[in-house]
A and B are shown apart, each in its own frame.
Chain A
């Protein structure tokens, strides 16, 4: 299966799971919204040009916004993490490029600790931006900070569950 087709299928699965499973879960607590869809952006192949990563990020967010009714809300956050992603990968990837020949970020490609940091940083940025936007329009800061921490925790839990349940078949980068 080509990367393109694989990612298109992933896109639909992530959006549908987010909208029809995670948003439909009975209200757990006012501070918790389970988010997982942005894992799609975390899993994008390394080889995509940075400009297209931004566009893909923006469209991912916008698609979710069409379902939730607040246009631009998730789109802004997704554009941010799509922009920051290459920098984080640069810092975390092994310096010796001969060791580093995987197609996309995964615990195996980066190693568990760097991958955890990668997921944590981007999750935190994504939720931080969402919470910031909510706070701008309404509400008090402290409850939103707690919300940021709680939501990040839940998201990381979901991400690692997904990583353990669905280990991706690793494909090496080839010259072809």
Chain B
């Protein structure tokens, strides 16, 4: 027993070094396993305070670009207004429109909240963005985040009371389902950790006639993102010898990740129901396997 104490005393520094290393690495690997920047809690509030002070000053330098983007967005929205469309008189033969236009037939599926970026990184393999909206303002995990011009930015991975942490598209663990605008074929967007301007799109079948300049949109099946929002455009078709059936495409990201200021956090109001259905289906299948139907 005495020897153990002597040993501990002699190597106290080394042992405490090992303990701290172990603690740091367990933090790193445990949290990264779930691709989550969790465990921040109060610290998120403190860094958030510093970051919002910085963002307050910084945003003045980007007002022009920001207002250009918003102007473009407004332009596209103005074009959608009901007043722009006039119904021609077709009363000669009364046709019942199969798609109800009034609010009776429609229900809201996505809810947009505006938010401001208080901190943003693009220097790492795993980049996170911090927003000034948190659980008190209704932000929850897994909500999609769009730039002020409507292009895809990332997904909320953690929220504290007044701030939220977003996994940027520039994160090597990020997988977002996307589709080609022209053909509707869907694939997966990822990032190879090298250049913050370019993303990678995989799993587009070779039967699709992909050309440089094609537009890539968010998929219609995603639980987190509203469908048909711009992700980027194809800039190069990389030849991938290992896979003869799928393309690997280099995508120029539509959002400029070095210049993010005002963003939208999008909530899928049906998400809980969809996930529940998914889970119950899986359970049902498992059960029917057991009983042999």
Contacts and interface: CB of A to CB of B under 8 A. Distances in A.
16 contacts: A30-B193, A33-B124, A51-B16, A61-B24, A66-B40, A66-B46, A67-B50, A69-B126, A70-B124, A72-B24, A72-B26, A76-B25, A79-B17, A79-B21, A83-B17, A139-B193
A118 B13 CA distance: 21
A58 B128 contact: no
B124 A68 contact: yes
A16 to B, nearest CB: 8
A75 interface: yes
A44 to B, nearest CB: 15
B37 to A, nearest CB: 4
Contacts, number: 100
Given A27-B122, A134-B125, A73 B193 contact: no
Contacts of B37: 69-71
Contacts of B17: 54, 79, 83
Given A66-B40, A71-B37, 15 more contacts: A30-B195, A51-B13, A51-B16, A67-B51, A69-B40, A69-B121, A69-B128, A70-B31, A71-B27, A71-B39, A73-B28, A75-B27, A76-B21, A79-B21, A83-B14
Contacts of B193: 30, 138-139
Contacts of B123: 23, 27, 33
Contacts of B28: 70-73, 76, 133
Contacts of A79: 17, 20-21, 24
Interface string A129-172: 00001100111000100000000000000000000000000000
B24 A76 contact: yes
B112 interface: no
Given A30-B194, A79-B17, A139-B125, A67 B47 contact: yes
Contacts of B43: 66
Interface of A: 16, 19-20, 23-24, 26-27, 30, 33, 50-51, 54-55, 58, 61-62, 66-73, 75-76, 79-80, 83, 133-134, 137-139, 143
A70 B126 contact: yes
Contacts of A20: 54
B12 interface: yes
B258 interface: yes
Contact of B196 (A24, A27, A62, A68): A27
Interface string B48-68: 001100100010000000000
A26 B58 CA distance: 14
B172 interface: yes
Interface in B110-142: 119, 121-128, 130
A69 B127 CA distance: 8
Most A CB contacts (10 A, CB to CB) among B28, B54, B121 go to B28
Nearest to B194: A30
B20 to A, nearest CB: 5
A138 B43 CA distance: 27
B121 A68 contact: yes
Contacts of B258: 26-27
Given A71-B31, A139-B125, A50 B20 contact: no
A30 B26 CA distance: 27
B74 interface: no
Q: 10 shortest A-B CB distances, which residue pairs?
A: A72-B27, A72-B28, A69-B128, A76-B24, A69-B37, A75-B24, A72-B24, A71-B27, A66-B43, A30-B194
